[in-house]
Amino acid sequence: MRRKCCKGGLDGCSNTAWLTVAISGRTNLSVAMTECPSAVTHFSESVELELIRNRYVREAELSRDIRQWLKSEDDPGISARNRIQIRLPLRRRLLRNLNLGQFPPPGMFVAGWPNQLLEAIISNIDAKTFLNDLCKKHSYNSRAFSRLVGETFFSELTLYDRRGQGTVTCDEFQSFIGTASEKLHMRLDKDRYFLNFIFT
């Protein structure tokens, strides 16, 4: 997100806003950081306030939404319910840009957001919201699965890579999915039993 934000065009916002803040010298954001930024600095509250001071309100709102999402993922001591509330503004922002009735559908970018990033963030937020409802105590370890759900799935698939390349080819993908499904089916089989062998 921060790299796309620095190049400009993310959510229709210009990178000029962050460059202006960096040049002002009133925050920890430097001009060099606008080229290769750190998310903690790039979307910090001080940068948001400086964006507002320079009348870049849309950019400040984007910065706040992303910072809150990062906070919901990384900060300890936040209840699951509050984490959901903190994530929702970014989800609303992303969904606001989608027009599912549009033809032809958007290509690589939706309002400046890379399509894969947009889908991954929405999936991540939705999955963690559903997870909260599935847990009896409405509490879970937010770090138990990765920030982006697809990372976890594909990291499992790379374990099956016999070539040692760390990536799965199209030819291998089908068999790997089959193996993963088969293992899942075996794990969830309630009639499964184990034989205890006694060696004498």
**Is the bond preceding 104 in cis, omega lying within 30 degrees of 0?**
yes
Confidence of residue 87 (pLDDT cuts 50, 70, 90): very high
Nearest one of 176, 178, 183 to 158, comparing CA atoms: 176
State the DSSP string of 123-183.
HHHHHHHHHHHHSTTS---TTSS-SSHHHHHHHHHHTT-TTSSSS--HHHHHHHHHHHHHH
Dist CA 43 CA 186 (whole Å): 45
Shared-domain flag, residues 107 and 57: yes
Shared-domain flag, residues 124 and 180: no
Structural domains of the chain, count: 2
pLDDT tens digits for 141-183? 665 655 555 565 666 666 666 666 656 677 777 777 777 777 7
Shared-domain flag, residues 136 and 183: no
Shared-domain flag, residues 103 and 55: yes
Shared-domain flag, residues 75 and 90: yes
Domain range for residue 119? Answer: 2-143
Whole-model pTM: value is: 0.65
Shared-domain flag, residues 6 and 94: yes
Shared-domain flag, residues 169 and 102: no
pLDDT of residue 4 exceeding 70: no
Shared-domain flag, residues 136 and 159: no
Shared-domain flag, residues 126 and 156: no
